[in-house]
Structures are given as C-alpha cells and as structure tokens.
C-alpha cells in the first residue's frame, strides 16, 4: 500500500478499493450494536431515498403511461414520504406503535425522525434504543406489506402489522442484558419482559 511492500490482507485490499465518503449525520440512528440488520438495511435505503417507490419511477412511467396508486391506501401515488409517513394506513400503524414510547414524535418524513432523535442519540439509553428499534421495524414491515400487496400475497390490517412490529421488537428486547436502573425496569415492565 502507498507504494510500500506489506503483508497481503483482504481487509487492506477492501479498505483500499472501497469508496470512502464522509459519515452521514444519521449514521448512529441507523447502525447501532443492538439493531436488527435486515430492518436497519431498509432504513438505510429509505434515508438514501433509494426504494423503488413511484416518485422514483416517474420518468419511466411517463414513457409507459402507468398510474399505479399507493398499495396501502389506494388513494394517491406512493413516494418515500407518503408510503412511510403520510399514508392513512401507515399513520394508523404509527399511532399504534408510538403508544409504546414515551417520546413526543410527530413525523411527516424520515428527516423529522432524525431531527427529533438526534439530540439524544449519543446517550446510549435503553429508551432511545427502543425508539430506534421501533422505527426500523416499522419501516421494514410497511415496505414488506407494500410488497406483499404488490405480489398479491394477501393484505394485513394496520392492527396486524402493528402486532407483528410489537412482537418483533419485544423479542429483540428479551435478548438484551438489562441494567437495574429505574428507567430500564420501567421499560421492561412496559414491554412485559420478566
């Protein structure tokens, strides 16, 4: 490396070849040691606005005359912000899952989540970890539901989706090694973890 001989290492080669970019502001809101990787990957894609929602397909659609509606509400074309935040179906899911966090969140898009949570994110407290887990699980299952409907695998109600999100996050929380602080004990009680 750098014109000098050194012992061969795949790690060195990867570091040399991979693109290097500055760490984004929301990195620690997405990647954290207790995260569920498949959920985190979805949030990463959402925040990069890389999902194939219809706002990203408009150029293609204009050539092919497609006018699909949001598969969750059947009212408007979907977009990143509509599908995950302003869609009536998704709003019902959010209103249910957010009853499990003691935190004032009103979201119209993922940037609202970043703005609200970022002042607290450097403090690794259980409550913030729970909020991040809920956010990621909700994003994952909303996109999953959208794809189920796209591929005609059946529709779930907002209540069924909420129950899936709740049980997934609760299962993850059950694997934690909890401290005996008052806030941790309160969280355990809220999530019915013995």
Of 36 and 73, CB closest to Zn ion: 73
Instruction: State how far the Cα of 93 lies from the Cα of 157, in Å rounded to an integer.
Output: 9
Q: Which DSSP symbol is given to 60?
A: H
State in angstroms the smallest separation of the CB of 83 from Zn ion: 6
Cβ proximity of 155 and 149 under 8 Å: yes
Instruction: Find out whether 134 and 107 touch, Cβ atoms under 8 Å.
Output: no
Question: Closest CB to Zn ion among 43 and 72?
Answer: 72
Span interacting with Zn ion, options 18-26, 69-77, 116-124, 176-184, rule CB under 5 A? 69-77
Instruction: Provide the minimum distance between the beta carbon of 81 and Zn ion in the complex, in angstroms, as a whole number.
Output: 11
- Among 43, 70, 117, 128, contact with Zn ion (rule: CB under 5 A): 70
Residues recorded for the chain:
194
Rounded to whole angstroms, the Cα distance separating 64 from 58 reads 10
Contact between 169 and Zn ion by CB under 5 A: the answer reads no
Interface residue list for Zn ion (CB under 5 A): 70, 72-73, 87
């Amino acid at each position: 490396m750098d014109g000098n001989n050194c012992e061969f290492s795949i790690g060195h080669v990867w570091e040399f070849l991979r693109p290097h970019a500055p760490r984004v502001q929301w990195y620690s809101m997405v990647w954290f040691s207790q995260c569920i990787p498949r959920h985190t990957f979805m949030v990463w894609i959402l925040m990069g606005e890389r999902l194939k929602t219809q706002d990203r397909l408009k150029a293609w659609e204009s050539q092919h005359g497609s006018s699909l509606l949001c598969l969750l509400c059947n009212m408007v074309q979907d977009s990143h912000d509509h599908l995950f935040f302003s869609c009536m179906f998704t709003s019902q899911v959010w209103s249910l899952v957010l009853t499990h966090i003691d935190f004032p969140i009103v979201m119209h898009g993922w940037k609202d989540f970043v703005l609200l949570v970022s002042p607290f994110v450097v403090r690794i407290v259980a409550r913030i970890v729970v909020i991040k887990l809920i956010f990621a699980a909700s994003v994952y299952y909303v996109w999953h539901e959208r794809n189920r409907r796209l591929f005609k695998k059946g529709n779930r109600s907002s209540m069924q989706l909420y129950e899936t999100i709740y049980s997934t996050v609760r299962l993850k929380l059950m694997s934690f090694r909890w401290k005996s602080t008052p806030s941790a004990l309160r969280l355990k009680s809220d999530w019915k973890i013995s």
